[in-house]
Amino acid sequence: MNITFIGGGNMAAAIIGGLLQQGNSPETLAVAEINTDRRTQLQHQFGINISATVADSSVNSDIYVLAVKPQQLRVVVTENATLLHNKLVISIAAGIRATDLSAWLDNQSYIIRAMPNTPCLIGKGVTGLYALPGVNASQKKQATDILGAVGSVIWCDDEIQLDAVTAMSGSGPAYVFYLLEAMQQAGTELGLSAETARQLSLETFIGASLLAADSHESFSTLRTRVTSPGGTTEQAILSLEQDNVKHALIDAIKAAHRRSQEIGHILSQS
């Protein structure tokens, strides 16, 4: 199966890296990338087929992965409508609805919307997937294989859920990095070196995440186990509760969710 990526930025490179690591042959992969410097980088990094446009590509693909910014997607799709006709089209763009993509492609039914995240770069991503009803089982398996090359995949029954996936796991790595920044800063303010504070923050996140993944208990039960009555954690949690941090985080994810819906709405009208 030949796969062409349209847009060769961060996310495309992460998925291509995973596919190559899984043993896909470089000849089966192609990228259409508008930026000359980026094309040179991709050529050096992967040795796959690179062209400026899809029309210039020497590879005849069965599957196209749309990996440009949401604002660029409609133009890219309509410019390439003939080439994309009756091919499996997988879009990773935030917000853009599969139904709109289908409409831009003359009501084509083979459309899958995917929402990966940046840990795909190290094979630890998670991707939410949604397929239009016309997508068949073997095409769904192809999408599972492509995104499964860089992490785990979760299929959604309803496209509306993709906005929640975007707000949670698509944008989610940024929330984790934000918390890591705060922990590291606290460490340095308490007299640790930046390097030690970085290591303590990181290893605490990794250790706690692996512990939670290994456990059947709720996150709050695991938290309670750290929180000795009259101890140190209790004071930290009290301070977090007083500052309404949990609600601030929930509000933040809801803001990302609203933006995902908004992008879909605005770009549907434009």
Ligand X SMILES: NC(=O)C1=CN([C@@H]2O[C@H](COP(=O)(O)OP(=O)(O)OC[C@H]3O[C@@H](n4cnc5c(N)ncnc54)[C@H](O)[C@@H]3O)[C@@H](O)[C@H]2O)C=CC1
Ligand Y SMILES: O=C(O)[C@@H]1CCC=N1
Annotated binding-site members for NADP(+): 6-11, 67-70
SS3 for 228? coil
Residue nearest to ligand Y (CB): 170
Stretch of 113-121, 134-142, 202-210, 214-222 contacting ligand X, by CB under 6 A: 113-121
CA distance 237 to 71: 41
- Cβ pair 170, 117 in contact under 8 A: yes
Buried b (16+ CB within 10 A) or exposed e, 14-27: bbbbbbbeeebeee
Using the CB atoms, write b or e for 191-230: b if 16+ within 10 Å: ebeeeebbeebeeeeeeeeeeeeeeeeeeeeeeeeeeeee
Of 12 and 143, the one with the shorter C-beta distance to ligand X is 12
Shortest spacing between CB 154 and ligand X, in angstroms: 14
Candidates 90-98, 130-138, 212-220, 226-234 — which segment interacts with ligand X by CB under 6 A?
90-98
What is the H or E stretch that residue 208 is in?
helix 194-214
38 binds, among ligand X, ligand Y, none (CB under 5 to 8 A by kind): ligand X
Rule CB under 6 A: which of 166-185 touch ligand X? 170
User: Least distance (Å) from ligand X to the CB of residue 190?
Assistant: 31
Pairing of the two strands 111-115 and 125-131: antiparallel
Phi/psi at 126 (5° precision): -140, 135
Residue 144 binding: pick among ligand X, ligand Y, none (C-beta 5-8 Å cut-off by kind): none
Cα–Cα dist 20/212, whole Å: 31
Q: Which residue among 77, 111, 112, 115 contacts ligand X (CB under 6 A)?
A: 115
Helix 232-242 vs helix 245-269: angle between axes, to the nearest 10 degrees?
A: 50
59-88 footprint of ligand X as x/- string (CB under 6 A): --------xxxx-x---x------------
Q: What character string, x for contact with ligand Y (CB under 6 A) and - otherwise, covers 169-188?
A: -xx-----------------
Q: Which of 8, 17, 128, 187 binds ligand X (CB under 6 A)?
A: 8
DSSP 220: H
- Residues at the contact surface with ligand X, assessed by CB under 6 A: 6-12, 32-35, 38, 67-70, 72, 76, 92-94, 115-118, 170
- Residues at the contact surface with ligand Y, assessed by CB under 6 A: 94, 166, 170-171
